[in-house]
Every structure is written in C-alpha cells, then in structure tokens.
Structure 1
Amino acid sequence: MIPVEHGSAWSALEAELREDILTGRIAPGERLGEVPLAARFSVSRGPVRDALRKLAGAGLVSFLPNIGARVRVFSQEDARALYELRAALESDAARWAARRAGKDQAQGLIALLSQHAEGIAAHPAGAYLQNGKDADFHIVIAEMAQNPLLRDLLADELYPQLALLRRQHRNVAGRGRVALREHQNIADAILNGDDELAALLMRRHIESSWNALRGQLEVGDPEP
C-alpha cells in the first residue's frame, strides 16, 4: 500500500507506475485513469494526478483531450527526435570516455561485452538484453565520460523514453549481433584513447540503430 501522506504518496506511486510502464506491465497506449489508480493504490486522486504529471514531464505519459492520461505512444517524428538527441549526446559521451577513462575502466567495458556476446550467442535471434545499469553498455560509457550532467540526462531522461519506445516496437531480427560488433569497435576506440574515432563510431551506431527501427515504425502518427 502507498503511504497515505500526500507528499510521499505521489512519489512512491510515481516510482511504481514508472516501473510498470518500463517493464511493459502497462502497455503503450493504455489508459491511466485517476479513479482506478487511486483505488489500486488506496490513495486519493490528488497523489495520482501529481504522479501522472511527473511521468508526463519525463516523457512516459501523455494527456489527450477527452481521453485523459495514457502511456505515451511514440509517433515516427517523436522517435526521430529522440534518436537525433541520443546521437548528439552519446557521441560526446564516447569522446569524453576515450579522453578520461582509465585503462582498467576501458578493459572492464570490453569484458562486459564478452558477457553480452555469450548471451547473444545463446539467443542469436533474440533481443540484445542488458539488464541493470551496471550491465548496460551505454550507461557504463556515460559514467566513464565523468560528466554528471550528461550522465543524469541520459540515464534519467533519455533512456527511459528509449525503453518505452522499444516496448512499442518489436525487436529487429539479427540486430543484436550487429549492435554487439558496433559496441566492440567503440570500446576498442575508447581503450586506445582515440576520442574522435570513438565519437564517430558511436554516432554511426546510433544512426544504424535508428535505421533498423525506422523500418518498423508506422507511417504517420499513431491513432490516439
């Protein structure tokens, strides 16, 4: 049960709803009615409304006229804008990681990719799963860049939206193996301290990921 105090209730409720959305327990496009949510969490509608507004600010919930709140559904334009921002930010993250990361950190990144390779070899047609922040290639690089503002922007703002976008569209068959090779090339550039190459390869990697996803996006905006 969510705490009854309004100040803490909305925060705890927001965290639980965020988890439900990002794990797919609440699907893209699903309505988020204040009344049923208030009943579910045994709170008044005030904390529910505050939590939904917070999630809307994070790009995970949208409010539509005559419908109310629902889990965000990405249009093709939404997805393109997200990937353009991602390419700009992550190429700089890779550049700074190559300049600032120690050899031990870079070698740890390569060791992480060896673990990823084992998972992909076991399920070559499956998704490229990276469970947990410490096991996510892109989050590790954001940490290695040693820029807290960039790290927080990527980990707290951009990546949750990206996770929701991926929930909306199925995985591209075989993309995991290609992505792994691209990750390995980026990691090698970081290990060698080649900041320009690391940035270039990261940008190409994000653009490749976008091109793979773009073919699955519906033409035009999804129906509300």
Structure 2
Amino acid sequence: MTDSFSTKVVPKSLVDAVTERLEAAIIAGELAPGERIREQTLAASLGVSRGPLREAIRRLEGRRLLDRKANVGVSVAMLSPERLDNLLTVREALEGMACRLAAERMSDQELKELVKLLDTHARKRDVAMGQGYYQESGDYDFHFRIATASRNELLASIVKGDLYDLLRVYRYKSSTMTGRAAQALDEHRAIVDALVSRDPDRAEAAMRTHIRNARLHAQMALKKAAAEAAET
C-alpha cells in the first residue's frame, strides 16, 4: 500500500462538521467575542436544521467557547483585557515548564512530527500572506503537542484543559497584527531547534519569549478592536 493510503478516513457526522465550522468561525473572528448566537439565522446560513446546530452549540459551551446566560441566550465567550493578561502570564510559566520537560522526554519520532507540523503551518495561505496564524485544535496545535510531550499528566491537563480553546481565539487575534504571523512561526522554529538540541534551558526560554510576545500582541489587538468599535 502506498503512503497516500496509509491514513484512514475518519467519517464525520453532521454535528461534527457544524461544530468544526462554528469553532473555526469563532477562532477566526467571523463570530466575534460577545456576539449573540441567533440559531435560526445561523442554521439558514450553514444550510442545516436547528437540531445539529443546537448540539454543536452545546459542545462548544462545554469547551467554553460559547456562553449561555439566562434571559439573554447564547453568545461567543470573551475575556476582559485584564483576565487575558493574567491567563497568558500564568501560561508563560506553565508552557515554559512543559517545554522544558518536553526537551528531556520527547521521542525522536515526536520531534520529527513536530518539524513536519511547522512545515505544514508555513505552507498555509494565511501565514504566508501574513494575515494570521490559525491552528486547528488538538494534535494540529503546536502548543498542544508540546504539552502532551511533557509526559506530566497534571501539567498537560491544565495547559490543554480549562480555557484552552478560548485562549486559541486570542492567540489567533494576536497573530493577525502586522508581522506577527511570520514572527510567531519563527518563534515556533526556535522552540523546535531547542527541543531537537535537547536543551531544556533554551527550550523553556524560547517558549516563555513566545508566550510573552503573544500576550503583548493580543493586548494590541484588543486595543485596536476597541478603538475601531468606538469609531462606529
């Protein structure tokens, strides 16, 4: 069997497809933080009935990408600038430690796959055009892979658990600032270089620098969005 047939096809249900489409819309800002979800309009736009849409909404509520409030309904979750700053400050330490451990514990095969993942990211149109750096969740996400490779279940569960998906929204917003997509890719490559060298100190420092820069650019993105909203 050739390599082109080595990966099995995974069938997707309609609910899976709707969930993935909504997730991508939230991460990319098509559905903005705080925006109300209007089921009838959204179902018509997606060309699906309200049943699959409602199940997808429930899934994304569970992942904290959507909020449901009594007498208000469902809206896209959002973080205040202060809470975002606090979360990313904490994650700088957590992901720095995860990267340190990964430098010591990752297998050679995991490192090869991480290099391939970055090559895939580099070929994406939004990254190449400097428009943003969108990463799908799970194993397609650079940070998720490194957290897993730390081999510390508690640390990995924290990094990949609470608010992981919501923070992806703001990581993407950070990447849309001028020059940030290319810079973020370079920072990822610096992290990989440290991991390949099995240098824990350099790996942790590179990850901390990356998260710190993401935090600064996310703050700028929020200020820009607030200024644009004030003008309308």
* TM-score computed with the length of structure 2 as normaliser: 0.68
Q: 2:25 maps to what in 1?
A: 24
Alignment partner for residue 134 of structure 2, among 120, 129, 150? 129
Q: Distance in 2 between matches of 1:91 and 1:17?
A: 34
Alignment of 1:42-121 (within 5 A): 42=51, 58-63=63-68, 67-119=72-124
Q: Distance in 1 between matches of 2:144 and 2:174?
A: 22
Question: In 1, are the aligned partners of 2:92 and 2:212 still within 8 Å (CA)?
Answer: yes
Identity among equivalent positions (%) equals: 30
Question: In 2, are the aligned partners of 1:83 and 1:206 still within 8 Å (CA)?
Answer: yes
Deviation sequence 1:103-139 (CA, Å, 0-9, x none): 3322332233233333369723222233453332111
Shift of 1:66: 5.2
Q: Distance in 1 between matches of 2:91 and 2:144?
A: 12
Question: In 1, are the aligned partners of 2:23 and 2:60 still within 8 Å (CA)?
Answer: no
Q: Distance in 1 between matches of 2:170 and 2:89?
A: 14
Q: 2:183 maps to what in 1?
A: 178
Q: Distance in 1 between matches of 2:126 and 2:75?
A: 37
Give 5+ residue unaligned stretches, structure 1.
1-11
Question: In 1, are the aligned partners of 2:135 and 2:141 still within 8 Å (CA)?
Answer: yes
Give the AA of the match of 1:23. Answer: A
Question: In 2, are the aligned partners of 1:24 and 1:167 still within 8 Å (CA)?
Answer: no
Q: 1:155 maps to what in 2?
A: 160
Q: 1:7 maps to what in 2?
A: none
Q: Distance in 2 between matches of 1:87 and 1:164?
A: 17
Q: 1:194 maps to what in 2?
A: 199
Question: In 2, are the aligned partners of 1:124 and 1:174 still within 8 Å (CA)?
Answer: no
Structure with higher RCO (Cα < 8 A, 6+ apart): 1
CA separation of 1:166 and 1:64: change in aligned 2, threshold 3 A: farther
Q: Does 1:203 align with 2:208?
A: yes
Q: Distance in 2 between matches of 1:108 and 1:170?
A: 23
CA separation of 1:132 and 1:214: change in aligned 2, threshold 3 A: closer
Q: Distance in 1 between matches of 2:73 and 2:126?
A: 44
Give the AA of the match of 1:160. Answer: D
What is the Cα-based RMSD across aligned positions, in Å? 4.0
Shift of 1:160: 0.6
Q: 2:169 maps to what in 1?
A: 164
CA separation of 1:71 and 1:121: change in aligned 2, threshold 3 A: closer
Alignment partner for residue 212 of structure 1, among 203, 209, 217? 217
Q: Distance in 1 between matches of 2:70 and 2:100?
A: 43
Question: In 2, are the aligned partners of 1:60 and 1:161 still within 8 Å (CA)?
Answer: yes
